[in-house]
Amino acid sequence: MSKKIPHPSDLHNIIANSHNRCISLGVDKYMDQPETIISGHVLQQVLESNKLLISIAAPFMNLLYGFLKGTGFLVDLTDEHGYIIAIIGDRDIMDRADAMGMKLGTDMSEKSCGTNSIGTALFEKQAIQMAAAQHFIEIYHIWTCSSAPITDEKGKIIGCLNITGLHELVHPHTLGFVHATAESIEHEIRSIRSKERLWHANQLNSTIMNAIDLAILTIDHHGTITNANKKSFEMFACREDELLGHPAKTILENWSHVFRMIEENGIYNDEEYVNQQSDSKRKFNINAYPIKDIGNKLIAIVVVFKDMQNVYKLVNKYSGQNAHYTFDSIVGRSAQLGEVMAYAKSVANISSTIIIQGESGVGKEILAQSIHNESNRRNEPFIAISCGSIPKNLIESELFGYEEGSFTSARRGGMPGKFELANNGTIFLDEIGEMPLDMQINLLRVLQEKIVTRIGSIKSMPINVRVIVATNKNLYQEVIKGNFREDLYYRLNVIPITIPPLRERKGDIRLLVDHFLTLKSQKLGRIVTPLKESEYAMLEEYEWPGNIRELENRIENYVVVGKLPVDTLKNHARETGFDTKYNCYTYNMNTLADWEKKAIQECIIQCRGNISKAAAVLKIDRSTMYKKIKAYSIIL
C-alpha cells in the first residue's frame, strides 16, 4: 500500500527537491502543455496493458466523482509511468485541462510536465497534495491537485489516482479522500489477485489429480465422499452423482476400520483391499492420509486406491513379459504350417486351454504369443514360464506367489505369482511335462476353480487367465508311465495343436535361411556372401534335429565365420550319443572347457533340445546343465 500522507513541514522539502529536479532535467516552466502526449496505437498499447487496473479503478473513480460532481473537479488515473489512462469530470474543467494538454495519453511525470502531484507522488512513492505556485509549470498554477499512488499485492506501484480542481478549492481533506480511495482500489486488486491465485491453484490441483492414474477420494469424518478425481469414476465404473455425496462404505466396505486406524495411529499404508464390482473382483492397494483443522482435529481423510492389475501390467511391460510375435512373424509357406496357423487363428478368441505339441526348436512359444496377440486379450499381459527350468522347491511360489513371512527368504510385502501377473491375459506354461507331480494337483485346482491362493495366505484371488501350455513330450505316454496326472492331462488337452518338425516342411527351409541371413547380418553388422544353390540343397537335405532353433544358430555361425560347417550338416543318428569324428583342430578347441562346451551343444542337438534328456546323457543334474549353458553362452 502507499505510504501515509506527508506532514506539511515535509511537504515543503518535497516540493523544493522536485523543483530542483525539474531544473536539472531542463523542464521549461513556461511551456503551454506537457512535453509528451501519446496517441494512436501507442496509447492503445498502454491502455491494453493496464486493462485490469482501469476496470478495477473505474467504479471507484465514478463513486469519487459522484461526490464531487458539479464542484469543479476532475478525477484521473495514470499508469506506473504517469500516462493518463482514464479521466472523468465536470465538462468545463475537462475542457480547460484539455487545453493545457491534460488528457488521455498525457505523460504527467516530472520530466514531462514538471512538479505536479501525480509525477511527484510517483517519484516519492507517497500521497501528495499541491496547489498554485507549488507546481513548476506556470500554466498549472491555477490548479490544486491531490494524488495517491496505487500498489499491487507485492507493493509495486502500478498507477496513481488524482483529483484536480481550481486552486481556490483546495482542501486538506481532499488528499485523505483520494488516499482512502486508492487503498480501496488496492484492496480490490489484492482480492481479485487472491481469487485468481486460488482459481489457478484449484485448476492446477484438479489437473494434477485428474492426470494421476490412481483413484483419489476425500471422505469427511461422517464417512461421506466429498470429492473424487476422474480416475475414481473410471475405476469404480460409476458416474459423478453416483459417488459424490454417497457413503464411503459403498466402495470401501472396511471404511470404519480405515477411519479408526487413521484416528488412532494417523497412518494407513499399503493395505490390500478386494472390491466386489457386480460379478467381478478387483484388487487394490490402499493408502489413507488425514486432513486436520487448525486445532489438529481430524476433519477428513484422503484415500488413494492403486489398481494392482495396472501395476502388474506395468511391471510386465518393463520386465519383457509381453508377447512380441504375431502370425505375421512366422516364416513359412508350407501347407503343413498353413494348416496349423489357420487353426490357431480360429481358436485364438476361445478361452479354453490350448496345448501346443512339437519337438524342441519348432517355435512353440512364438505360436503361443501369436495366438495371444490375435485374441481379445492382446492388450493384457502375456506371462511365459518354463516349468523345466525352475527348481522344484520354487515352482509353487513362482506360479502362485507368497505372502510376507511365508518362509525365511520371503520378500518383504510378499510377491505376486505368475497367475496373478497374467490376470485378464495369457499365461504360457512351457515344458509342462516337467512339472512335478505334487504341483500338478495345484495347477489342476487353479484351472478348475479359477482362483489362486498365495503361499502363506488364507485369501483367495479370482483370476481370469487364458492358459496355453507346450510340451515336446508325448503327455499320454507320460500319463501311462505315471509321470503326469491323467485328470490334468484331460483338463489341458482341450484344444491340441501340433507343430510339424522342420524336416516335414522342407519347403520352408529356404525362406527361413533367407530370413535369418538378413536378421543376423543386420544384428552383427556383417556383409554376407549369398548362398550357392548347392548350399541351399545341402541345408534342405539335412533333417534338422534341433529344428528352427538349430537352423537359426547355424545361420548365425555362417554369418560370423563366412562358410557353412559342412561336416556337421550330415544327419545324426536319432539315438542319443555323440559322433566322435570331431577333432580339436577342426573346431579350434584348445582347452577342456572348449571340449565341454562342444559336447553340451552337440548333446542338446542330438536330444532335440530336451535339456533334461541331455543332462541325463551327460550324467549331470538339470540345474548344473543350465548353469553350464549360461556360463558358456550356449544359444538354445
**CA atoms of 79 and 162, how far apart (whole Å):** 11
Domain 320-498, architecture per CATH: 3-Layer(aba) Sandwich (3.40)
Domain with CATH 3.30.450.40 in the chain: 8-195
The pLDDT score that the predictor gives to residue 62 is: 94
CATH level 3 topology of 572-636:
Arc Repressor Mutant, subunit A (1.10.10)
Most confident of 77-81, 316-320, 419-423, 545-549: 77-81
* pLDDT tier for residue 349 given thresholds of 50, 70 and 90: very high
Largest CA distance in the chain: 128
- Give me 477's grid cell: 505316454
Between the two ends of the chain, the Cα-to-Cα distance in Å is: 80
**CA atoms of 394 and 381, how far apart (whole Å):** 22
Domain with CATH 1.10.10 in the chain: 572-636
Do β-strands 225-228 and 215-220 pair in parallel, antiparallel, or remain unpaired?
antiparallel
Helix (H) or strand (E) holding 505, with range, is none
Mean pLDDT of the chain: 86
Q: Is 0.85 surpassed by the pTM of this model?
A: no
Domain with CATH 3.40.50.300 in the chain: 320-498
The pLDDT score that the predictor gives to residue 316 is: 54
- Give me 226's grid cell: 466429498
Domain with CATH 3.30.450.20 in the chain: 212-310
How many other C-beta atoms can be found within 10 angstroms of the C-beta atom of residue 488? 22
The pLDDT score that the predictor gives to residue 25 is: 93
Mean predicted confidence (pLDDT) in 327-331: 92
Least confident window among 94-103, 214-223, 403-412, 427-436: 403-412
DSSP letters of 250-267? GT-TTHHHHHHHHHHHS-
The amino acid at 7 = H
CATH level 3 topology of 8-195:
Beta-Lactamase (3.30.450)
Closest by Cα among 490, 547, 558, 492 to 519: 558
Mean predicted confidence (pLDDT) in 34-57: 95
Rg of the chain on CA atoms, in Å? 44
Closest by Cα among 10, 29, 30, 9 to 21: 29
CATH level 3 topology of 212-310:
Beta-Lactamase (3.30.450)
Q: What are phi and psi of 132, to 5 degrees?
A: 50, -125
- Give me 202's grid cell: 484449484
Mean predicted confidence (pLDDT) in 285-298: 87
